[in-house]
Every structure is written in structure tokens, then in C-alpha cells.
Amino acid sequence: MCTYILRRMVSAIAVMAMVGIFIFVLLRLAPGDPAAIMAGRNATAEAIAGIREQLGLNEPLPVQFMLWVSSMLHGDFGTSIFSGRPVFELVLQRLEPTLSLSLMTLALSVTLGVSLGVLAAWRAGGLLDRTLTLFATLGYSVPVFVVGYFLVYLLAIGAGWLPVQGYVQIENGLGGWFAHLVLPTVTLSLPYIALIARITRASMLEVLSEDYMRTAAAKGASAYAMLVHHALKNAGVPILTVVGLSFAYLIGGVVLTETVFNIPGVGRMVVDAVNSRDYPIIQSVLIMVSGLYVLINLAVDLAYTLIDPRIRY
């Protein structure tokens, strides 16, 4: 077990290193000079040369890469051009709204997605199943910002039940915080509920055809006990996998949702950075989020043994 954990961690570090090389090479080879972008449209040649020098862009590429990696290992993720503050600090400041939105989305979509998936598998082929499958296909076909504006028009502008946009920090009142997060959470959750429901249904159907399910039914187990105690537990691994893998997709959704609802989170910060040509922010958030993805999927891999004792390493 310990050797397995160790081996997985080493391979996660290897993937991280490769991610770093990838991002570095792609962004350096892309036509376009970060120094010229940061200097702005009307910059003089000297100003651009100054920024190039400051960023170390005149060094050979391998040297640049080593400098970049070593500063990240020391916790230095670059400095924002616009505000002159460390990017890491800026991210921490913006973390609360993004974390609130992501965790509420995760909670809502796992609860609803798994429940709907179990229901659909229970009544496979029936009307309920077909309706849910149709809604699942719809759910991941409508982009989050379209759903967002549709809900805003219907529930916020039309009915006036919920705030149109904005964010209230937790310490300024739990009610306001929650009210401002309802629409964004529902918006961002929709494709996830669809995805998780679909995987849950497929995974449940596989388990329901096992011999031990027939045994449980023969022993007189109730439908609830069969579905939840016997089947869902065994259907857990694919569900967990999809939750982990869809994290990369969640990030894109967070950026769009924060823009639609004007939430001052990390996603909004990236979009603002594009407009203010604050290139270090974009590059650093990209590498931080990729690192987080590797860590989350490492955790998911290790969690397999907890939910399924048959998996031994």
C-alpha cells in the first residue's frame, strides 16, 4: 500500500514536470511577445526591451525554464504588472468567492446527479429513465453562460426572486452570501448533474446485473436497501473518477459563470488580466490550476481503496 502511494506520488510529480514544460514551450513558441503585450500598444522599443530584461526573456530558453521552475518551487508565482503585487497573494484574495461557488456546485451536482442516476437505473427503460436521459443530454448541450442569462432573465429580472449579479462575502451575512450564490451554483451545476447522473446510471446498471443483486432480492431486501447499500457502494469508483476528471472542465465553467454573474473570483481575475494585458497572472493561474488538477486526481486514485476494499495495491 505504502509503496503504491509513493509510486503514485512520484508519477504525479513527473506529470507535473511535463505539464510545466508543456505550458512553457507552448507559451514561448506562440507568435506574440509577452513583453510587447504588457507594454501596451503605443510602447517605445526601449520600454519593451526593459520589460524583456525584467522578465528574463533575453536568457536562452532552457535557462528561462529553470529560473521559472525554481522561483515557483520557492513559492514565487510572478508579479502582476498592473498592481505590482505577487500573483499568489492576488489569487488568495480572490479565493473565497471561487471556492464558495465550486464547493456548492460540487455538493449540489453530486447529490442531485447521483440521486437522479440511481433513480434512472432503478426504472431503466421506463418513462422516468427516458425523461432523465433527455434532460441529461440537454443539460450538457447548453453552455453555462446561456443557462446563466436565461435564469437571470427568468428568475432575477422577471420574477425578482434572486439578485441579478454580484457577490456578498460570508462575513457580511450568510443570507446575502447564499442568495447571491443560488443562481451561479444552479447554472454551473447543470452540466455536472447531467454528467454525473449519466455515469451513475451506467455504472449502476452494470452492478444491478450482478449475481449478488439477485441474491439480495431473493433474501427480500427492500428496493432502497438494494439500490443504496448493495448497488451504489459498488458503483462508486466510476462516479468518483468522473468527478475528479471533470475538474478541468469545471474551471472553464467557473471563469464563465463568474463573468456572467460578476463575481469577483479567480476566474474574473483571469478575464480582467486579459483585458489589462497582465500576462503573468494568466500564466501563473494556468500552472496553479493544472497542478491542482494533478493533485485532485492523485487524491481520487488514493480514495479508490477507501470506497472499494477489493482494490488493493
Partner 1 sequence: MLVLAGGGLLMLLVVLAVAAPLYAGDPEALDPFIRLQPPSGEHWLGTDNLGRDVLARTIYGARISLIVGLMSAFLAAIAGLTIGIIAGYLRSFDNLIMRVMDALMSIPTFLLAIALISLTGPGIGILIFAVALPETPSVSRLVRSVVLSVRERPYVQAAICGGARLPKVMLRHILPSTFAALMVQSATVCASAIMTEAGLSFLGVGVPPEIPSWGNMIASSRLYLATAPLTVLAPGVFLAITVLAVNLLGDGLRDLFDPRSRSR
Shortest spacing between CB 102 and partner 1, in angstroms: 13
Helix axes 279-307, 236-245, angle to 10 degrees: 170
What sections of the chain are H helices per DSSP? 2-29, 34-39, 45-55, 61-73, 87-93, 95-122, 127-139, 144-151, 174-208, 211-218, 223-224, 233-234, 236-245, 247-260, 266-275, 279-307
- Interface with partner 1 by CB under 8 A: which range of 67-75, 136-144, 173-181, 226-234? 136-144
Shortest spacing between CB 82 and partner 1, in angstroms: 14
Site for partner 1 in 142-171 (CB under 8 A): 142-146, 149-150, 152-153, 157
At residue 209, the 3 state secondary structure works out as coil
Is 101 among the residues that bind partner 1 (CB under 8 A)?
no
Instruction: Name every residue whose Cβ is closer than 8 Å to that of residue 55 and which is 6 or more positions away in sequence.
Output: 34, 35
Shortest spacing between CB 267 and partner 1, in angstroms: 9
147 class by beta-carbon count within 10 Å (0-12 exposed, 13-18 middle, 19+ buried): buried
Rounded distance between C-alpha atoms, residue 89 and residue 277, angstroms? 19
Shortest spacing between CB 261 and partner 1, in angstroms: 11
Rounded distance between C-alpha atoms, residue 262 and residue 5, angstroms? 41
Site for partner 1 in 29-48 (CB under 8 A): 30-32, 34, 37
Is 128 among the residues that bind partner 1 (CB under 8 A)?
no
Shortest spacing between CB 274 and partner 1, in angstroms: 5
Q: Which of 60, 84, 125, 309 binds partner 1 (CB under 8 A)?
A: 125
Is 138 among the residues that bind partner 1 (CB under 8 A)?
yes
Shortest spacing between CB 174 and partner 1, in angstroms: 28
Site for partner 1 in 209-268 (CB under 8 A): 248-249, 251-252, 255-256, 259-260
Shortest spacing between CB 309 and partner 1, in angstroms: 26
Nearest 10 degrees: CA dihedral of 68, 69, 72, 76? -30
Rounded distance between C-alpha atoms, residue 128 and residue 119, angstroms? 8
Paired strand residues for 86: 79
Angle at 239 (CA atoms; ends 233, 244), nearest 5 degrees: 130
Residues forming contacts to partner 1 in the complex (CB under 8 A) are 11, 14-15, 18-19, 21-23, 26-27, 30-32, 34, 37, 124-125, 137-138, 140-146, 149-150, 152-153, 157, 201-202, 205-206, 248-249, 251-252, 255-256, 259-260, 270-271, 273-275, 277, 279, 282-283, 285-286, 289-290, 293-294, 297
